[in-house]
Amino acid sequence: MGFHSNPNIYTSSVTLKVKNLEQSILFYQTMIGFQVREISENKAVLTADGKTPLIYLEQLFNIETNKVRTAGLYHVALLVPSREDLGVMLKHLVQSGCPLQGASDHDVSEAIYLADPDGNGIEIYRDLSPETWEWKGDFVKMGTLPMDADGVIAAGDHKEWTGLPAGTIIGHIHLHVGDLDKTVQFYVEGLGFNIVQKYGSQAYFLSTGKYHHHIGLNIWNGRGVPAPKENDTGLKHYDLKLPSLETFYQIVNRLKEMGAPYKLEEDIVYTADPSGNPIRLTV
């Protein structure tokens, strides 16, 4: 899990806006295996280890009913520690009758795809050993092949499902954007990410520290799609963890020079990428 610690920049948590908090909590507990650390009338904090917040849920009361395609969350990706853990999860999801959207071998990882009751995409994956990742210059090989589901299930077949493993973290976040070029420029020149793969003019994958990707960006909802409205379900914001105060203020200065929107409040920078995806930067 060294790609998700200093000196890298990575997503530490995600805040989602949902229609029905009770329904969402039930899904995230029974299907995904989160623990509820805190709950109030319209908010809940979900954790894998009982302590560290990974997903915040907030219930909307005035929901946009004529929702159109927008920028926003494509999926939040939960990284489990091992193939065994992924196998236990896959077997549980199948036995629970949870609708799956796919299961892939990406050369660097094995991944399961599904969605929550509001259509927020969820990826649950495990990384292959970094020693097996194939790099050609600055680009890492990432494909999309059918996952060996039988092999994954067999890896965890001896173990009972008891929820998310305590070592689960947010591995990456993948976003719909309206302007791919400007958004990539924001993450690279403003926040300090590196491009590690791209698929034509449709999708880019960015990381720090030679990870296969901490952030994915795509225009699959359409070029020029608008930012989501405040009363849309979906992503409210996501948190990027920075390695130091020095990095924090370097990014603030770069955002200022770029003319990017930002607000500095104590030890948090509130900003948004050019496609309107809100971000909180913390040390």
Give buried/exposed letters for 28-55 (b at 16+ CB in 10 A, else e).
bbebbbbbebeeeeeebbbbbeeeebbb
Stretch 99-104: mean pLDDT: 96
Residue 6 has pLDDT above 80, yes or no: yes
Q: Which residues pair with 9 in a beta bridge?
A: none
Residues of the chain with pLDDT > 90, as a percent, come to 92
Domain extent, residue 99, equals: 2-282
Residue 65 has pLDDT above 80, yes or no: no
Residue 147 has pLDDT above 80, yes or no: yes
Number of domains, the chain: 1
Stretch 141-154: mean pLDDT: 96
Q: How many CA atoms lie within 13 A of 89 on its CB side?
A: 30
User: What confidence score (pLDDT) does residue 140 get?
Assistant: 98
Q: Are strands 35-39 and 215-218 parallel, antiparallel or unpaired?
A: unpaired
Cα–Cα distances in Å, from 73 out to 119, 155, 172, 230, 249?
Answer: 10, 31, 12, 14, 27
pLDDT tens, position by position, 157-211? 999 999 999 999 999 999 999 999 999 999 999 999 999 999 988 999 999 999 9
User: What confidence score (pLDDT) does residue 62 get?
Assistant: 84
pLDDT tens, position by position, 254-270? 999 999 999 999 889 99
User: What confidence score (pLDDT) does residue 87 get?
Assistant: 98
Residue 1 has pLDDT above 70, yes or no: no
> pLDDT band for position 66 (50/70/90)?
low
- DSSP code for 131: G
User: What is the CATH classification number for the domain harbouring 152?
Assistant: 3.10.180.10
Residue (of 242, 274, 246, 244) closest to 258 by Cα position: 274
pLDDT tens, position by position, 39-56? 998 999 999 999 999 999
Q: Is 214 exposed, middle or buried, given 0-12, 13-18 or 19+ CB atoms closer than 10 A?
A: buried
Residue 67 has pLDDT above 80, yes or no: no
Residues 6+ apart with CB under 8 A from 145: 104, 105, 106, 107
pLDDT tens, position by position, 210-264? 999 999 999 999 999 999 888 999 999 999 999 999 999 999 999 999 999 999 9
